[in-house]
Structure 1
Amino acid sequence: MSRVFFAILLGLASAASALADPFVYDRQEVVEGTHLIYRVDPMRLPAESNVVVIEQSGGLAVVDSGGSTMAGERIIAQIRQISDAPVRYLVNTHWHGDHHLGNAAFLAAWPEIEIIAHENTVRHIAGAAMDYIHEAGEQLEASRPVVDAVAATGALPDGTVIPARIAEYYTMLAGDLDELIAAVDTIEIIAPTRHFSDRLVLDDRMRPVELRYFGRGNTDGDAVVWMPEQRVVASGDLVVHPTPYGFGSYPADWIEALEAIRALDYAYLIPGHGAVQPDTAYVDQLIALMAEVRAQVGPLAEAGLSLEEVRAEVDLSAQQSLFAQGDAWIANRFNAWWVTPFVGVAYQEATGDPILQGE
């Protein structure tokens, strides 16, 4: 997972507006009693998950907790603005750190909390997949010379000029590094205390919640949170907007999981990152994207081309334009966070190589 984490963390995503605090959150009520706590800019470093707060009669159910204790504390402050009720349930949608490394803050605030995840996710959070976090501070510090050089000169240390829009992100990161390192240093990994395999109901007379597992997709343990009476679904990183993350994923299975989400006939979909989706259009776009990658990679792999040769042959420029909508930074991240990793796993799928979590 260290490659995944640092590809995201050191990919230099940040806000174009000069926010001084890298942990700036806001909130919105999606439907009555269901709230989204979100990063003001979802592309800013560090990658931070959306958080969903559901008001139940016995307390609150929360989906995901942020990527550090510091982030978790900021999220909790937002939750306290929504309700004085205790958080009874905390669901971790999958094992990637930005969705569960705030667990320690939640446990400190509500010691009786139940932390719930799919059984595969519990195993990864408690296991070697999270070893990368012990190197995170050092890796951030190692990025400082490059980040500072671009912030100061608009060019890499070797003189390569960076486009102005992307240089803005380096400048933002340069100002954030000390706080990000401090946040990493306070992280405590807290594994879920309860697990499920296929379906778990958090029953409630006001707002019942179903935890569903539709198979492998973004990871091998993606929990989907379904509120049937409100027709709201929280997808975790099975859906990420405005551009998906393709690290360590399972292409064919992911398509099936998205089709299962679409079949819920939801009114609103809250993605793992980014804006609430009021219809199936973006899910359909993701399904088409994954199908296109598989359609291009499969025949090339079967013909015996190496991964490097396949990467050179695959053309996703039309899809990049569709997702980026003219934004140069999103186009850059589409290549780094989607094309490079997802072509890799599609190649593994086509050649029969196992796709393992945490590597």
Structure 2
Amino acid sequence: MRSIASAAALMLAGAPVSAQTVDVAPFTAHEITPRIHLLSTPDDYYGPAIGNVVLIEQRDGFVLVDSGLNAGNGRAVVRYARSLSPKPIKAVMITHWHNDHPQGISSIRDAYPKVRIIATRQTEAGMLGPEAFDIGYAPGPKWDGAMNMLIAKNKEQLQKLLEAPDTAPDRKERIRKALVQFDAFAGDFSGSYIVPPTETFERQLLIDDPDMPVQILYLGRANTEGDAIAWLPKQKIVATGDIVVSPIPFGFGSYSGDWIETIGKIKALGFTTLIPGHGLPQSDTAYLDRLIAALTDLRTQIAPYAKAGMPVDEVKKKVDFSKSIDTFGTTQRSRANTQALFFDPMTGSVYRELRGEPIVQGEGSPEPDVPRDTPPKPSSKHHKS
């Protein structure tokens, strides 16, 4: 999961491809096709990271890929869907358990009580497991207090940077915007909590439609243990969740070897449009190739040190990922973000992976815990397909 502090550093690029006709803040709306839409955060958003939301309009309702970070995001998704069509939101597919992807569901379920909530079993375990939650099962004062404290801590850090004499003017401008966006985030979080999946699957699940069938696929571990993708074979559009994050990759508790294989399977789909978990759509495999190269560089450099049993702290002093880091941007800011959000955490994960040690989901990723509406329990329906 993303920490609020590190997420504020991540910035998307690009412009909306269609006019925004309804208030969907903090998102910007993009029309991929007349019946496929993307909600993503804009260039000048510096608050806590919010995953992309994809709306796919079938004949009898919308299928969503992810739901945002909080209840306010979910309400924005509902408003946007209603601006497009009176059809209901009939299903939400959760790509993975990081909280900026499933936490809008509470508001979506309020609007559409019969909505299907679909995830892999591994994602369900991450959403409901003790590694993700420790402060309660429902929204309320305990959660509000914890979130307010976390926001206050991060705002205090930003304020210190704003007042520091050596902080560059352009960075100060970003910090001012971030402070406003943190306040908006706090308001949007009221009523947020985790809603468990209503059904899980192992390898694939089809939400059929004559014009726009959606195949939900588990291709293997990658950014998390249970990453799922949505594949539209007729349109040749794939939504990857955080298997792909751009313009800067993200990896905490990830599986580098399997990640490379999973990206290869996505390439083999022959897509014409790829919608990442964060960032704007892509029309070729160039970014995927950069991710594979970066993951391969991590494994190649770390392997001899891991085999020799060198302590991981010493390994971090030996390796040099500067060339790989530069492929994701050569500014001081982009390099620092790439180092902090990908190469530093992935070094520890790759080290453990190469030594045959377990990788624990959520380990080393200081995202705020959030409450759920029920204690952990098995899904009501499971598909073995």
TM-score (norm 2): 0.84
Aligned-pair CA distance for 1:163: 4.0
Determine whether 1:175 maps to 2:180.
yes
Q: Which residue of 2 aligns with 1:329?
A: 333
Letter in 1 for 2:274: L
Identity %: 35
Between the aligned partners of 2:157 and 2:11, the Cα distance in structure 1 is 16
Which deviates further from its counterpart, 108-117 or 328-337?
328-337
Q: Which residue of 2 aligns with 1:5?
A: 3
SS of the aligned residue for 1:323 comes to: coil
Query: Which structure 1 residue ranges, 5 or more long, are not aligned?
Result: 156-160
Between the aligned partners of 1:342 and 1:22, the Cα distance in structure 2 is 34
Query: Which structure 2 residue ranges, 5 or more long, are not aligned?
Result: 14-22, 136-142, 364-385
SS of the aligned residue for 2:95 comes to: coil
Judged with a 3 Å threshold, the aligned counterparts in structure 2 of structure 1 residues 154 and 256 are, in CA distance, closer, same or farther, namely same
Aligned-pair CA distance for 1:7: 5.3
**8 Å contact from structure 2 (residues 72, 190) kept in 1:** no
Letter in 2 for 1:355: I
Aligned-pair CA distance for 1:316: 1.5
Aligned-pair CA distance for 1:218: 0.5
Q: Which residue of 2 aligns with 1:31?
A: 33
Q: Output the aligned Cα RMSD.
A: 2.2
Determine whether 1:144 maps to 2:126.
no
> How is 1:12-27 mapped onto 2 (pairs within 5 angstroms)?
12-13=9-10, 23-27=25-29
Q: Which residue of 1 aligns with 2:164?
A: 154
Letter in 1 for 2:164: G
Q: Which residue of 2 aligns with 1:65?
A: 67
Give CA deviations for 1:136-169 in whole Å, capped at 9, x if unaligned: 4322212233221222x235xxxxx334444433
Q: Which residue of 1 aligns with 2:239?
A: 234
Judged with a 3 Å threshold, the aligned counterparts in structure 2 of structure 1 residues 167 and 336 are, in CA distance, closer, same or farther, namely farther
SS of the aligned residue for 2:278 comes to: coil
Q: Which residue of 2 aligns with 1:279?
A: 284
Letter in 2 for 1:289: A
**8 Å contact from structure 1 (residues 137, 185) kept in 2:** no
> How is 1:296-307 mapped onto 2 (pairs within 5 angstroms)?
296-307=301-312
Aligned-pair CA distance for 1:212: 0.6
**8 Å contact from structure 1 (residues 137, 184) kept in 2:** no
Q: Which residue of 2 aligns with 1:213?
A: 218
Give CA deviations for 1:235-273 in whole Å, capped at 9, x if unaligned: 000001101111110010111110010110111100000
Aligned-pair CA distance for 1:42: 7.9
**8 Å contact from structure 2 (residues 12, 280) kept in 1:** no
**8 Å contact from structure 2 (residues 47, 182) kept in 1:** no
Aligned residues: 345
Q: Which residue of 2 aligns with 1:120?
A: 122
Between the aligned partners of 2:84 and 2:324, the Cα distance in structure 1 is 39
Between the aligned partners of 1:320 and 1:167, the Cα distance in structure 2 is 25
Between the aligned partners of 1:146 and 1:339, the Cα distance in structure 2 is 23
**8 Å contact from structure 2 (residues 4, 48) kept in 1:** no
Alignment partner for residue 52 of structure 1, among 29, 51, 54?
54
Between the aligned partners of 1:23 and 1:130, the Cα distance in structure 2 is 27
Which deviates further from its counterpart, 334-343 or 179-188?
179-188
Q: Which residue of 2 aligns with 1:224?
A: 229
Which deviates further from its counterpart, 265-274 or 132-141?
132-141
**8 Å contact from structure 2 (residues 243, 276) kept in 1:** yes
SS of the aligned residue for 2:62 comes to: strand
**8 Å contact from structure 1 (residues 22, 46) kept in 2:** no
Determine whether 1:196 maps to 2:201.
yes
Q: Which residue of 2 aligns with 1:110?
A: 112
Judged with a 3 Å threshold, the aligned counterparts in structure 2 of structure 1 residues 202 and 54 are, in CA distance, closer, same or farther, namely same
**8 Å contact from structure 1 (residues 154, 162) kept in 2:** yes
Letter in 1 for 2:289: D
Q: Which residue of 2 aligns with 1:339?
A: 343
**8 Å contact from structure 2 (residues 71, 191) kept in 1:** yes
Between the aligned partners of 2:211 and 2:128, the Cα distance in structure 1 is 33
Between the aligned partners of 2:45 and 2:53, the Cα distance in structure 1 is 15
Judged with a 3 Å threshold, the aligned counterparts in structure 2 of structure 1 residues 163 and 320 are, in CA distance, closer, same or farther, namely farther
**8 Å contact from structure 1 (residues 15, 44) kept in 2:** no
Aligned-pair CA distance for 1:181: 2.8
**8 Å contact from structure 2 (residues 55, 62) kept in 1:** yes
Judged with a 3 Å threshold, the aligned counterparts in structure 2 of structure 1 residues 123 and 15 are, in CA distance, closer, same or farther, namely closer
SS of the aligned residue for 1:130 comes to: coil
Judged with a 3 Å threshold, the aligned counterparts in structure 2 of structure 1 residues 219 and 308 are, in CA distance, closer, same or farther, namely same
Letter in 2 for 1:154: A
Letter in 1 for 2:151: L
**8 Å contact from structure 1 (residues 241, 275) kept in 2:** yes
Aligned-pair CA distance for 1:185: 4.4
Which deviates further from its counterpart, 308-317 or 54-63?
308-317
Which deviates further from its counterpart, 140-149 or 103-112?
140-149
Between the aligned partners of 2:305 and 2:257, the Cα distance in structure 1 is 17
SS of the aligned residue for 2:248 comes to: coil
Between the aligned partners of 2:12 and 2:226, the Cα distance in structure 1 is 30
Between the aligned partners of 2:148 and 2:96, the Cα distance in structure 1 is 22
Between the aligned partners of 1:103 and 1:7, the Cα distance in structure 2 is 24
TM-score (norm 1): 0.90
Alignment partner for residue 314 of structure 2, among 309, 316, 319?
309
